[in-house]
């Protein structure tokens, strides 16, 4: 974008709404940044000489003669190795008291990767959590959210995943993050001695909500620098994307756009896809993997935010409290990692896919048995055995506090099969049962 | 837009995201393409609304940094696809830019690459001779493109009777070399090359007749081929909530279907899914010819992060390519994933134009846009007596998995096959999750297709399919009764009925798309397995009590599964079959 030698100052606002103001100005670029009365703002609409600016912090107290200065460029981030270990706000300015950034200035929200230049993701990310590694294996270059109710420990699980995954850089994007949660992340990372490979862009609940819209683009611009320029493996954590989408709807509402489902803007799918699709595996080893959080209201996944997210991401992980064992588990039915088939049985032991499916099928049978039991019917021996199996399976494999190797998970599964079922009932390929069925 | 006129220019007067308002200094047409100058980059845009001298254009690119007053040039034509040899195996974006020849990792704005390679030479063989009479769409010569005979045709835009004044001799030519000169009725000479252009939003109707579809398109997916077959020239759609296996199913179809050419329009979906195709198709074999799958495939990739207006165009581009190859007398399979994303692209623009919205904020004319699109598929008799077909299968991603939403409802009115993916089946890992009871293929009711089935498979096939469907419905009813009344609250027969439907489900309907053998079942094997399962289920089973039923059928299912995993008619296959027979004989003896 062209730089302006003379910065013209405008001092007459035509209209002011809660989040936007209109000024008559010329030679303004679309999506250009400006300041209105010292507050950051961005051009969102131009009609003739009428320029509509979205003021991130809101327009409270802005006078009609406020100074409007256009910067001549869209939002940017200075990228460089000096990002590592630092904390920033939504504008990419340090909030940790450290020095200013000195790297190359890049526009955020850059172009998309040419699909033919992508590589098929094929590198597994082991987390040690069996509910993930066994049933919903993650792969570099994948994008996957946790679908969780606000009271579930999603940030804790995400921090566990971040620390056990072998990533060169971890970039945290906090949108509407509670200050407590922000401190939690910082403590966990510091205690693990990992702070030097972590970068955080944070908008807390104390900051204006519309500022959140900049966070993912900041995070992903930094991620692209490390993945493309430095060929590093980058893990991006975004929490909470529901609050991001809420900010989108606030803006579109104030721009008088016609809302579609659940008062969300009609472009919600494209808006979210633009971010999630930055997840990528490159030929030279660099990659961006995105693990996000989408909070649900009352577990409703048909709401426009989780619904659109589910169509974009490569699976989703559900947390659920299992009353049998009194622990949080990764729900084996509703969770899904779409990329797992690229690695399971290939990068892991060959029996992995069949063991995974058999265990889930038996677990599903236990749900039917439970329904029967609750309705007061007699259980068959098979029903009873599935119930016993289900409890053991949840305890030994699905609980989020299980931390073992994938090989060990498979061995445990075979042990569970043999303790409760016959070979026919488990029905896996003969070559595997010949090899792994524990001899009594 | 055939009239010639001087070039119209204009200036940018308004910018709202990718909707740019242009003030023109001369005439322009609805849907005309124009180029907006953003600095040194030219951004392609399409006129979608006209108001006096103001053209409302949708820009196929990001408009960041664009200023009021930027210059605009109108092109004088609508959005066109360049057609000619060299399309096969290609990877294009929604505007038919060749993705493979773009430089850099990122798609830079205004980076337009030619669809076809102009330097390569093709061995051209003439089909007509000097003096022959021809009309638009007639074959005048052919080249071999990846083993397919690619016909060079009289340009589709020409009208009336034409005469071949001169055709070149067999030899090597580039796509831009003149291979023929035609004269029209007024003696005007028209040079013809191997390439031509066609506006993608107009359907190409240079055929004699479009009968109802009547022949089967084998997909190797048992639940489709057996219960709800797709036809050459047929239309179908696959709606399903996310995670129900839409993508895996569509990829299975694209790999295995009986088609000369497969065109995949990845419309607003995940980039990694396209990468799967890029990675796997050059390696995998086409089960019909043994050549590599990529040789018969064209991929139009306008993934969800690529500009939304180009997403809308991608569906039309894909259909135009399909129509082009159909005119050569080929069988085309066109897969679009997903038509919902296309509809959403229409919605985003309609929204920016501040049009009055219809249901769920979709544009009011959504149903007609969808039906117009589906109607471009079909089986045709070309003017020269050859036949060609476009089979179109689109996926639909209904919001919240609710099938009562505008895209699903509008599609249901026009598509003849409905493959409903059920969340319940997906949750219990019964893949493909096509619901056997809710889904349908209207083609089964066509007498001409019933006749085809009688000769292709067996005279009683349609009855068998009916019987299978009935057994599945009865099984479902029995299951509901068992759940209400309890295992011992119903007679043993209910258990038998339920488990019979479970055998059909587990053996004929469920299929492991990731197993080398099970993934594709040829028609002959499908018939064999269907007969085998139905023969078995015809046994008059007798059990003393309900708790004998489940173990018996589980055992049978276990063995049958192993059969599905074994090479057809191999020793292992036959051994499992013998075991099944002896198990069922055992049950018979007991009675």
Average pLDDT of chain B is: 93
Q: Where are the domains positioned within chain A?
A: 9-70, 76-107+140-313, 352-436
Q: Which of A3, A42, A115, A138 to mutate to test the interface with B (most CBs of B within 10 A)?
A: A115
Give the DSSP per-residue string, A184-197: HHHHHHHHTT-GGG
In CATH, what class is A9-70? Answer: mainly beta
Beta-bridge partner residues of B299 = B91, B264
The verdict on a CB contact (< 8 Å) between B351 and A258 is: yes
C-beta separation of A259 from A252 below 8 A: yes
Is the sign of the CA dihedral A175, A178, A179, A183 positive or negative? negative
The distance of A197 to chain B (nearest Cα, Å) reads 25
* Largest pairwise CA distance in chain B: 92
For chain B, say whether A360 makes contact (Cβ under 8 Å).
yes
The residue that leads in pLDDT, A48 or B401, is A48
Mean pLDDT value of segment B546-571? 92
Give the DSSP per-residue string, B234-294: -EEEEE--TTSSHHHHHHHHHHHS--SEEEEEEES--HHHHHHHHHHTTTSBPTTTSSBGG
- State the complex-level ipTM: 0.86
Q: Can you tell me the distance from the alpha carbon of B250 to that of B224, in angstroms, rounded to the nearest whole number?
A: 12
In our burial notation (b when 16+ CB lie closer than 10 A, e otherwise), range A225-235 reads bbbbeeebbbb
The residue that leads in pLDDT, A166 or B181, is B181
Give the pLDDT confidence of A296-345 residue by residue, as tens digits: 988 888 899 999 999 899 999 999 889 889 999 999 988 989 999 899 99
The verdict on a CB contact (< 8 Å) between A427 and B105 is: no
Cα B295 to chain centroid distance, Å, stands at 17
3-state DSSP call for residue B121? coil
Tokens representing B399 are 């919001």
For chain B, say whether A321 makes contact (Cβ under 8 Å).
no
Beta strand residue intervals within B268-367, DSSP E:
297-302, 331-337
For chain B, say whether A110 makes contact (Cβ under 8 Å).
yes
* Rounded alpha-carbon distances, angstroms, from residue A392 to A160, A356, B64, B97, B428: 23, 15, 56, 55, 19
C-beta separation of B566 from B576 below 8 A: yes
Beta-bridge partner residues of B332 = B261, B390
List, in order of start, the domains of chain B with CATH numbers: 9-78 (2.40.10.170), 122-199 (2.40.50.100), 216-440 (3.40.50.300), 461-590 (1.10.1140.10)
Tokens representing A421 are 């079922």
Q: Alpha helix (H) ranges present in B405-488? A: 406-414, 423-427, 447-456, 461-485
Task: Give the best-scoring range by mean pLDDT among B282-291, B322-331, B557-566.
Answer: B322-331
- Spell out the per-residue pLDDT of chain A, length 440, in tens: 445 556 778 999 999 988 899 999 999 999 999 999 999 999 999 999 999 999 998 899 999 999 999 999 999 999 999 999 999 999 999 999 999 999 999 999 999 999 999 999 989 998 889 899 999 999 999 999 999 999 999 999 999 888 888 899 999 999 999 999 999 998 998 898 888 999 999 999 999 888 999 999 999 999 999 999 999 999 999 999 999 999 999 888 887 788 888 889 888 999 999 999 999 999 999 999 999 999 998 888 889 999 999 989 999 999 988 988 999 999 998 898 999 989 999 999 999 999 999 999 899 899 989 998 998 888 889 999 999 999 999 999 999 988 899 999 999 999 999 999 999 889 888 899 999 999 86
**Would the pLDDT of B246 be above 90?**
no
C-beta separation of B422 from B438 below 8 A: yes
C-beta separation of B374 from B392 below 8 A: yes
* Residues 6 or more apart in contact with residue B394 via CB below 8 angstroms: B236, B237, B238, B335, B336, B337, B338, B339, B374, B411, B415
Q: Can you tell me the distance from the alpha carbon of A20 to that of A178, in angstroms, rounded to the nearest whole number?
A: 26
The distance of A96 to chain B (nearest Cα, Å) reads 31
Q: Can you tell me the distance from the alpha carbon of A201 to that of B326, in angstroms, rounded to the nearest whole number?
A: 53
C-beta separation of B124 from B168 below 8 A: yes
The reported pLDDT for the residue numbered B568 is 95
3-state DSSP call for residue A359? helix
For chain B, say whether A283 makes contact (Cβ under 8 Å).
no
The reported pLDDT for the residue numbered B5 is 65
Beta-bridge partner residues of A36 = A39, A68
The reported pLDDT for the residue numbered B514 is 86
Partners of residue B400 in chain A, C-beta under 8 Å: 261, 301-304, 307
Beta-bridge partner residues of B12 = B22
Give the least confident one: A137-151, B346-360, B457-471, B564-578.
B346-360
The distance of B428 to chain A (nearest Cα, Å) reads 6
Partners of residue B100 in chain A, C-beta under 8 Å: 116
Beta-bridge partner residues of B45 = B34, B59
Q: Which of B515, B519, B528, B534 is nearest to B570 (CA)?
A: B528
Give the DSSP per-residue string, A95-162: -SS-PPP-SEEEESS-PPBPGGGB-----EE--S-HHHHTTS-EETT-EEEEEE-TTS-HHHHHHHHH
In CATH, what class is A76-107+140-313? Answer: alpha beta
The reported pLDDT for the residue numbered A440 is 63
**Would the pLDDT of B591 be above 50?**
no
3-state DSSP call for residue B500? helix
Q: Can you tell me the distance from the alpha carbon of A349 to that of B27, in angstroms, rounded to the nearest whole number?
A: 67
Tokens representing A69 are 């200065």
Q: Can you tell me the distance from the alpha carbon of B209 to that of B381, in angstroms, rounded to the nearest whole number?
A: 5
**Would the pLDDT of B206 be above 90?**
yes
Q: Which of B270, B545, B559, B573 to mutate to test the interface with A (most CBs of A within 10 A)?
A: B270
The reported pLDDT for the residue numbered B403 is 87
**Would the pLDDT of B588 be above 70?**
no
> One fold for both A9-70 and A76-107+140-313?
no
Residue with tokens 């659109």: A308
The verdict on a CB contact (< 8 Å) between A304 and B399 is: yes
Mean pLDDT value of segment B434-456? 96
For chain B, say whether A215 makes contact (Cβ under 8 Å).
no
Residue of chain A nearest B307, judged by CA positions? A270
The reported pLDDT for the residue numbered B316 is 97
The reported pLDDT for the residue numbered B4 is 56
Mean pLDDT value of segment B266-279? 90
Tokens representing A196 are 């030097």
The reported pLDDT for the residue numbered A4 is 52
The verdict on a CB contact (< 8 Å) between A378 and B360 is: no
The reported pLDDT for the residue numbered A119 is 95
Tokens representing B432 are 């493909």
Tokens representing A61 are 């107290």
The verdict on a CB contact (< 8 Å) between B68 and A2 is: no
Cα A140 to chain centroid distance, Å, stands at 13
Give the DSSP per-residue string, A264-318: -BTTHHHHHHHHHTT-EEBTTS-EEEEEEEEE-STT-TTSHHHHHHHHHSSEEEE
* Largest pairwise CA distance in chain A: 86
Beta-bridge partner residues of A318 = A147
The distance of A392 to chain B (nearest Cα, Å) reads 19
The verdict on a CB contact (< 8 Å) between B427 and A378 is: no
**Would the pLDDT of B39 be above 90?**
no
Q: Can you tell me the distance from the alpha carbon of A234 to that of A236, in angstroms, rounded to the nearest whole number?
A: 6
Q: Can you tell me the distance from the alpha carbon of B304 to that of B267, in angstroms, rounded to the nearest whole number?
A: 7
The reported pLDDT for the residue numbered B75 is 95
The reported pLDDT for the residue numbered A259 is 84
Q: Can you tell me the distance from the alpha carbon of B132 to that of A40, in angstroms, rounded to the nearest whole number?
A: 72
Q: Which of B342, B377, B416 is nearest to B207 (CA)?
A: B377
* Residues 6 or more apart in contact with residue B574 via CB below 8 angstroms: none
The residue that leads in pLDDT, B587 or A414, is A414
The reported pLDDT for the residue numbered B2 is 46
Helix axes B461-485, B492-503, angle to 10 degrees: 130
Residue with tokens 């007459």: A12
* Rounded alpha-carbon distances, angstroms, from residue B433 to A135, A302, B439: 19, 19, 11
The verdict on a CB contact (< 8 Å) between A115 and B275 is: yes
Partners of residue A118 in chain B, C-beta under 8 Å: 271-272, 275, 278
- The DSSP symbol for A439 reads P
Decide: residue B524, CB within 10 A, 0-12 exposed, 13-18 middle, 19+ buried: exposed
* Residues 6 or more apart in contact with residue B459 via CB below 8 angstroms: none
Give the least confident one: A24-33, B27-36, B242-251, B313-322.
B242-251
Residue with tokens 């397919």: B148
The verdict on a CB contact (< 8 Å) between B306 and A30 is: no
In our burial notation (b when 16+ CB lie closer than 10 A, e otherwise), range A400-427 reads bebebebeebbbbbbebbbebbeeebbb
Among A26, A111, A341, whose Cβ lies nearest the Cβ of B106? A111
Give the pLDDT confidence of A72-96 residue by residue, as tens digits: 999 999 999 999 999 999 999 999 9
The distance of B108 to chain A (nearest Cα, Å) reads 6
The verdict on a CB contact (< 8 Å) between B401 and A302 is: yes
Q: Can you tell me the distance from the alpha carbon of B229 to that of B222, in angstroms, rounded to the nearest whole number?
A: 9
C-beta separation of B267 from B312 below 8 A: no
For chain B, say whether A357 makes contact (Cβ under 8 Å).
yes
Tokens representing B569 are 């008619």
Among A46, A47, A116, whose Cβ lies nearest the Cβ of B99? A116
For chain B, say whether A338 makes contact (Cβ under 8 Å).
yes
Tokens representing A21 are 């103001």
Beta-bridge partner residues of A291 = A144, A237
Residue of chain A nearest B356, judged by CA positions? A258
Tokens representing B463 are 């009855």
Partners of residue A371 in chain B, C-beta under 8 Å: 483
Q: Can you tell me the distance from the alpha carbon of B81 to that of B84, in angstroms, rounded to the nearest whole number?
A: 10
């Amino acid at each position: 974008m062209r730089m302006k030698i003379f910065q013209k100052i405008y001092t007459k606002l035509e209209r002011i709404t809660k989040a936007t103001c209109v000024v008559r100005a010329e030679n303004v670029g679309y999506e250009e940044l400006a300041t209105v009365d010292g507050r950051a703002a961005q051009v969102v609409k131009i009609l003739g000489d009428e320029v509509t600016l979205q003021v991130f912090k809101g327009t409270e107290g802005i006078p009609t003669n406020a100074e409007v200065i256009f910067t001549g460029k869209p939002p940017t981030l200075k990228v460089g190795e000096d990002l590592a270990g630092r904390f920033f706000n939504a504008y990419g300015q340090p909030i940790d008291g450290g020095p200013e950034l000195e790297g190359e200035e890049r526009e955020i929200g850059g172009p998309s990767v040419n699909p033919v230049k992508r590589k098929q993701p094929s590198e597994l990310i082991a987390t040690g959590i069996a509910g993930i590694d066994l049933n919903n294996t993650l792969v570099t270059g994948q994008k996957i959210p946790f679908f969780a109710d606000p009271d579930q420990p999603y940030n804790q699980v995400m921090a566990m995943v971040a620390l056990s995954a072998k990533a060169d850089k971890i970039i945290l994007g906090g949108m509407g993050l509670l200050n407590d949660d922000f401190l939690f992340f910082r403590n966990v990372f510091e205690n693990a001695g990992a702070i030097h490979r972590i970068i955080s862009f944070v908008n807390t609940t104390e900051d204006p909500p519309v500022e959140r819209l900049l966070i993912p683009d900041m995070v992903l611009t930094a991620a692209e620098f490390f993945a493309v320029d430095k060929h590093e493996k980058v893990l991006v954590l975004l929490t909470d994307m529901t609050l991001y989408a809420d900010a989108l709807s606030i803006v579109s509402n104030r721009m008088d756009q016609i809302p579609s489902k659940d008062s969300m803007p009609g472009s919600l799918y494209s808006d979210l896809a633009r971010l999630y699709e930055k997840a990528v595996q490159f030929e030279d080893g660099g990659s961006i993997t995105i693990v996000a959080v989408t909070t649900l209201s009352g577990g409703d996944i048909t709401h426009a935010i989780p619904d659109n997210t589910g169509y974009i991401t490569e699976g989703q992980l559900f947390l659920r409290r299992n009353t049998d064992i009194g622990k949080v588990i990764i729900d084996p039915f509703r969770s899904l990692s779409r990329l797992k088939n690229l690695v399971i049985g290939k990068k892991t032991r060959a029996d992995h896919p069949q063991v995974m499916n058999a265990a889930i099928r038996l677990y599903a049978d236990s749900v039917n048995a439970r329904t029967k039991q609750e309705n007061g019917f007699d259980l068959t021996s098979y029903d009873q055995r599935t119930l016993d199996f289900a409890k053991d399976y949840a305890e030994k494999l699905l609980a989020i506090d299980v931390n073992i190797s994938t090989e060990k998970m498979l061995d445990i599964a075979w042990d569970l099969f043999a303790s409760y079922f016959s070979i026919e009932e488990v029905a896996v390929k003969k070559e595997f049962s010949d090899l792994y069925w524990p001899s009594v | 837009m055939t009239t010639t006129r001087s070039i119209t220019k204009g200036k940018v007067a308004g910018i709202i995201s990718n909707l740019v308002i242009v003030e023109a200094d001369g005439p322009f047409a609805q849907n005309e393409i124009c180029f907006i100058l953003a600095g040194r980059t030219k951004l392609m845009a399409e006129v979608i609304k006209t108001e006096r001298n103001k053209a409302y254009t949708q820009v196929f690119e990001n408009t960041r940094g664009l200023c009021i007053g930027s210059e605009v040039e109108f092109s004088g034509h609508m959005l066109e696809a360049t057609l000619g040899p060299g399309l096969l195996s290609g990877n294009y974006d929604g505007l038919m830019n060749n993705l493979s020849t773009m430089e850099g990792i990122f798609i830079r704005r205004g980076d337009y690459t030619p669809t076809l390679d102009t330097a390569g030479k093709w061995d051209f063989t003439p089909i007509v001779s000097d003096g022959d009479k021809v009309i638009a769409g007639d074959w005048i010569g052919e080249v071999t493109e990846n083993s397919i005979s690619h016909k060079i045709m009289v340009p589709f835009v020409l009208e009336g009777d034409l005469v071949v004044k001169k055709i070149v001799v067999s030899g090597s030519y580039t796509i831009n070399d003149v291979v023929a000169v035609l004269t029209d009725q007024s003696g005007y000479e028209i040079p013809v090359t191997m390439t031509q252009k066609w506006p993608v939003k107009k359907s190409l109707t240079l055929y004699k007749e479009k009968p109802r579809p009547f022949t089967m398109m084998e997909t190797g997916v048992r639940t489709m081929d057996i219960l709800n077959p797709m036809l050459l020239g047929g239309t179908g759609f696959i709606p399903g909530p996310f995670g129900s296996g839409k993508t895996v199913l569509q990829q299975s179809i694209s790999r295995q279907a009986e088609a000369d050419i497969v065109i995949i329009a990845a419309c607003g979906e995940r980039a990694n899914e396209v990468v799967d195709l890029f990675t796997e198709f050059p390696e995998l074999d086409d089960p019909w010819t043994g050549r590599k799958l990529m040789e018969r495939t064209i991929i139009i990739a306008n993934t969800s992060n690529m500009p939304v207006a180009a997403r809308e165009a991608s569906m039309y581009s894909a259909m135009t390519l399909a129509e082009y190859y159909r005119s050569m007398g080929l069988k085309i399979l066109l897969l679009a994933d997903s038509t919902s994303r296309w509809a959403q692209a229409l919605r985003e623009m309609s929204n920016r134009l501040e049009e009055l919205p219809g249901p769920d904020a979709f544009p009011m004319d959504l149903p007609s846009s969808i039906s117009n699109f589906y109607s471009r598929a079909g089986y045709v008799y070309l003017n020269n007596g050859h036949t060609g077909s476009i089979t179109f299968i689109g996926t639909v991603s209904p919001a919240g998995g609710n099938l009562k939403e505008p895209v699903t409802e509008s599609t249901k009115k026009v598509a003849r096959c409905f493959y409903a993916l059920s969340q319940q089946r997906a949750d219990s890992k019964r893949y493909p999750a096509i619901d056997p009871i809710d889904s349908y293929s209207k083609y089964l009711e066509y007498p001409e297709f019933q006749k085809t089935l009688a000769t292709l498979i067996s005279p009683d096939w349609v009855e068998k399919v009916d019987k299978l469907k009935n057994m599945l419905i009865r099984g479902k009813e029995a299951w509901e009764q068992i759940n209400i009344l309890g295992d011992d609250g119903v007679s043993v027969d209910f258990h038998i009925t339920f488990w019979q439907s479970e055998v059909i489900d587990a053996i004929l309907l469920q299929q492991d798309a990731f197993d080398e053998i099970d993934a594709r079942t040829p028609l002959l094997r499908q018939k064999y397995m269907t007969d085998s399962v139905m023969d078995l289920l015809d046994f008059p089973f007798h059990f003393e009590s309900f708790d004998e039923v489940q173990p018996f059928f589980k055992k049978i299912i276990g063995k049958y599964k192993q059969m599905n995993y074994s090479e057809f008619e191999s020793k292992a296959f036959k051994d499992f079959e013998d075991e099944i027979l002896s198990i069922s004989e055992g049950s018979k003896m007991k009675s």
